[in-house]
Amino acid sequence: MDPLRAAAPYLAYGFLNLVHRTSSIQWRGLEHLEAVKRSGPFIYAFWHQRQVAFTFTHRGTPAPVLVSRSRDGELIAKTMGLFGIPAVRGSSSRGASASAKELFELLSSGSCVGITPDGPKGPARKAKEGALYLAQKSGRPILPITNAASRRLTFAKAWDRFQVPLPFSRICVAHGPPVSVGPADDLRDKALELERSLNRVTDEADEAVR
């Protein structure tokens, strides 16, 4: 492996620790988190664009996150691992059935899991049905969660305009009301419900750090 690529997760780890130490963090919607925790394990759902800040805001959280099997996914998984966040490798295009089975088994064993419902390739901020299918089959709720940073680097050419928070930021982490999926629910309708909820709390978090 290219030495620079091999070092990238450690460089990212150091940079994000700096962001964490120099930034202030406000939390919103914690009542939704507390309510869903009382029912047992659940599924965190967050937009692909906003995943970076969660590495330090949720450091050590034992909730495996679905990460693609791409080369970029490998860097993300290794960086997450340095923050004590495990990964499940797979996506809708590669390893979908194996990763879905692993996520289902984790939920059944009492572990929370994390999914980017618009990943790995978009469209941005449009929820696919994978997370809803997992919620329906496992009987576990989905907790919308997002973040926003007052100072950030935005990759304008990325499909989701991927964001990286910068040092000395004001950061908002926000939760929306849980989304439950019953056995007879239409997954397309539930995907739209999740999408609207995530977009609403994301817009509110953006407003909070302006």
pLDDT tens digits, 53-108: 999 999 999 999 999 888 888 999 999 999 999 999 986 556 578 899 999 999 99
pTM beyond 0.85: the answer is yes
pLDDT for residue 177 is more than 70: yes
**DSSP assignment of 96-116:** HHHHHHHHHHHHHTT--EEE-
- C-alpha distances in angstroms, 186 versus 96, 129, 181, 204? 21, 10, 8, 27
- C-alpha distances in angstroms, 170 versus 7, 123, 127, 155? 28, 28, 27, 19
pLDDT tens digits, 150-171: 999 999 999 999 999 999 999 9
The predicted structure's pLDDT at residue 18? 98
CATH of 3-208, one of 3.40.630.10, 3.40.1130.10, 3.40.50.10420, 3.20.20.80: 3.40.1130.10
Predicted confidence band of residue 119 (pLDDT cuts 50, 70, 90): confident
**166-193 mean pLDDT:** 98
Domain edges within the chain: 3-208
Predicted confidence band of residue 48 (pLDDT cuts 50, 70, 90): very high
Cα–Cα distance, 130 to 140 (Å, whole number): 14
Amino acid at 148: A
In this structure, what token pair is assigned to residue 114?
């994390």
The per-residue pLDDT of the chain, averaged, comes to: 95
In this structure, what token pair is assigned to residue 117?
């419902």
Predicted confidence band of residue 5 (pLDDT cuts 50, 70, 90): confident
